[in-house]
Structure 1
Amino acid sequence: MNDDHMVQGPPVTDKRAVVLAIIALLLCLVAVLGNGFITTVLGREWLLRRTLLPCDKLLVSLAASRFCLQWVVLCKNIYILLHPAVFPYSPVLLFLAFQWDFLNAVTLWLSTWLSVFYCVKIATFTHPVFLWLKRKLSGLVPWMLLSSVWFSSLSTILFFIGNQRIYQNYLRNSLPPWNVTGNSIRRSYEKFYLFPLKMVTWTVPTAFFLICMALLITSLGRHMKNSLLTISGFQEPSAQAHIKALLALISFAIFFISYFLSLVLSATCVLPSRALRFWVWQAVIYLCAAVHPVVLIFSNARLRAVLVRYCSSRCGASC
C-alpha cells in the first residue's frame, strides 16, 4: 500500500494492546470453530435430506453468516494490527468493509427472525393474531431468509456509496488523511450520512429482537413460576426444560445486545484502533461471540449428539 493511504501516527507498541489483540484473535478462532461446526452439521443434513426443520434453517443460516463474518473480522483486525496507521477508507479496508457491512446486517436480521420464531412457537399468548402466526410461521421461514438478504443488500449498497464518496473525495482533493480540511469533510459525511444510516439499519431489527425476547422471556418466566408452585418444583421435567430454555434465551439476548453495542461504538469511532481500550472491548465482544455458539450447540439435542459422537470416536481412535 502507498504511503498516501496512511494516516500519520505511531504504530501500536503497547504490549498490553498486543496481548489483548492476540487474545481477541484466539477467541475469534473459537467462534469460527463453533459456528463452523453448526454450519457443517446442519448444512450437511440439509443437503442430504433435502429438508430441515424451519428453526434449524434459521439457525444454520445464522451460524453460516457468523462464520463468514468472523473470518472477515479476523482479516480486518490482523490488517489493522499490522498497519495501525492505515487510512480507514483505503481500498483494502473498503473491500473488507463491504463484506463486513453485509454480513453484519444479515446476522442482525437472522438473529431477529430467530427470536421471532422462538417467540411465536414457544410463547403461550392467546391473541388471535398470535395464534394465526403460530400456524403460518413455518411457511414464512423462506421469506425470512430472503428478506434478510434483501434488507442487508440494500443497506450495504447505501453504506458502500457513502464510503466510496469519502474515498473519491480524498483522491480528488489529493489531501493527506491527517489534513484538517480533509478530516472535517470526512467526519461531516460520517456524522450526517453514514452514522444515521447505520443507526436506522441496525436499530430496526434490534427493536424487533428485543420485543420478541421480552415477550418470550415473560411467557417462559410466568409458565416456570406456575410449574414451581407444585410440590415437586425443580424436579418436574417441564420446569427443568423451561429453565434451560430461559437460560439459553438470556444468553442469546446478552450476546445480541453486546453485539449491537459493539456496532454502535464502532460507528461512533470513540475507540480508535490504536488505543488499548479498543482491544479491551474487542476481547470482551469476542468472548461473547465464542461462548454463544457453545451454548447453541449444547442446547440443541442434534448438535450435542453429533459432538458427543465425534468426541467419543476421537477418544476411541487415540486409545
Structure 2
Amino acid sequence: MPSKVESILMLIAVGEFSMGMLGNTFIVLVNCLDWVKNKKMASVDLILASLAMSRICLLCIILLDGFILVLYPDVYATGKQMKIIDFFWTLTNHLSVWFATCLSIFYFLKIANFFHPLFLWMKWRIDRVILWILLGCLALSVFISLLVTENLNDDFRLCVKAKRKTNSTLRCRVNKAQYASTKILLNLLTLFPFSVSLISFLLLIFSLWRHTRQMQLNATGCSDPSTAAHMGAMKAVISFLLLFINYCLAFLVATSSYFMPETELAVIWGELIALIYPSSHSFILILKNNKLRQASLRVL
C-alpha cells in the first residue's frame, strides 16, 4: 500500500496530468477540426498538433510510470515491461523536444527580418518541407530511443524493488559507471535541439532590436504588427526554454534517484516536477495563438 505522502503526491500528479491532457487535447481537436473543414492544415497548425500529440503520450507515460512505482513495484523486477516503458518515455520525450524546437525555428523564420540568402531560402522553403522535417524528427527519436533503451541497466529497476522490500539494507549490485554514462548521454542528446531553440531566441532578439532601432530612426514609433509578432514569438520561445530547463532538472532527479536515500519519493518528486512542462506549456501556446485563443474563448 502506498504511504500517505506517496498518495498525496500521486493526487497532485493526477491533477497536473488532467490539466495537461485538457490543454493538449484541445490543441489537437481544434487543429484537426479545422483541417477537416478546410481540407488543409497550415504549417504552424501541423507543428502544434504534432507537439500536442507527443505531449499527450508523454503525460500518459510519466503518470503510468509513477503509478507502477507506487502501486505495482514488482513490475520493476521484470526488465522487459520496464524497457517498453523506458522506450516510450525516451521516444515521447525527444519528440516533444524536437517538435518544440521546430516550432521555435518556424517562428524565427516567419517573423525575423534578415536579408541573408540562406535565411531567405529557408524562409521560402519551410512550408514545403515542414512535414518531412517532422517525420525526420520522428525517425531520429525512434533511433535514439532504441539505442538508449537497449543499453539501459536493468539493475537500477531491481534496486528500486529491493530497497522497498529490505528498507535499504540490501546492497544493490549496480554498475554505477555504466548507469551514469547512459543517463548522461540521454540528457546530452537533448542539448542540441535546446541549443537550436536558444539560438533562434537570440536571433529573434537581435531582429527585434534592429527593427526597433529602424523604427526609432524613422520616427514612426514602435507599436507596429512586426514588433508585436516579435514579442509574441519571443515569449513563446522563452517559456519553452524555461520550462524545458525545469523539466531537464526534474528528469535528472528521477533518473539519478538510485544515488538518493529515498528512491521512490525521489522518482515521484522528479516526475511531479516533470509534469509541469508538458502540462503548462500547452496553455501558453493556446494564449499565444490567435486561432486557439479565439476557440478557447468560444468554448468558455
Report the TM-score when normalising by structure 2: 0.82
Contact 1:42 1:60 in 2 (8 A): yes
Q: 1:297 aligns with which of 271, 274, 286?
A: 286
How do 1:47-196 residues align onto structure 2 when only pairs under 5 Å count? 47-83=36-72, 87=76, 90-163=79-152, 166=154, 180=171, 183-185=173-175, 187-192=176-181, 194-196=182-184
The whole-number CA distance in structure 2 between the counterparts of 1:302 and 1:162 is 43
* SS of the residue 1:44 aligns to: helix
The whole-number CA distance in structure 2 between the counterparts of 1:238 and 1:141 is 23
The whole-number CA distance in structure 2 between the counterparts of 1:299 and 1:24 is 26
The whole-number CA distance in structure 2 between the counterparts of 1:228 and 1:247 is 23
Which residue of the partner structure matches residue 309 of structure 1? 298
The whole-number CA distance in structure 2 between the counterparts of 1:75 and 1:283 is 12
Which residue of the partner structure matches residue 13 of structure 1? 3
Which residue of the partner structure matches residue 252 of structure 2? 264
Q: Report the CA distance between 1:81 and its aligned residue.
A: 2.4
* SS of the residue 1:183 aligns to: coil
The whole-number CA distance in structure 2 between the counterparts of 1:256 and 1:278 is 18
Which residue of the partner structure matches residue 251 of structure 1? 239
AA aligned to 2:299 is Y
The whole-number CA distance in structure 2 between the counterparts of 1:59 and 1:190 is 34
Contact 2:194 2:241 in 1 (8 A): no
Q: 1:213 aligns with which of 184, 187, 201?
A: 201
* SS of the residue 2:205 aligns to: helix
Q: Report the CA distance between 1:62 and its aligned residue.
A: 0.6
Contact 1:36 1:67 in 2 (8 A): yes
The whole-number CA distance in structure 2 between the counterparts of 1:221 and 1:281 is 38
Contact 2:20 2:278 in 1 (8 A): yes
Q: Report the CA distance between 1:233 and its aligned residue.
A: 5.5
Contact 1:34 1:294 in 2 (8 A): yes
The whole-number CA distance in structure 1 between the counterparts of 2:33 and 2:238 is 29
Change (3 A) 1:242 1:120: closer
Contact 1:166 1:189 in 2 (8 A): no
Q: Describe the superposition over 1:279-310 as per-residue Cα deviations: whole angstroms up to 9, x where unpaired.
A: 55544443343321111112111112222222
Which residue of the partner structure matches residue 43 of structure 1? 32
Identical positions, percent: 28
Change (3 A) 1:288 1:154: closer
Change (3 A) 1:67 1:224: farther
Which residue of the partner structure matches residue 274 of structure 1? 264
Q: Describe the superposition over 1:134-153 as per-residue Cα deviations: whole angstroms up to 9, x where unpaired.
A: 11111120221111111011
Corresponding residue pairs, total: 291
Unaligned runs of 5+ in 2: none
Which residue of the partner structure matches residue 4 of structure 1? none
Report the TM-score when normalising by structure 1: 0.77
* SS of the residue 1:184 aligns to: coil
Note the aligned Cα RMSD (angstroms): 3.3
The whole-number CA distance in structure 1 between the counterparts of 2:225 and 2:274 is 34
Unaligned runs of 5+ in 1: 1-10, 171-175, 312-319
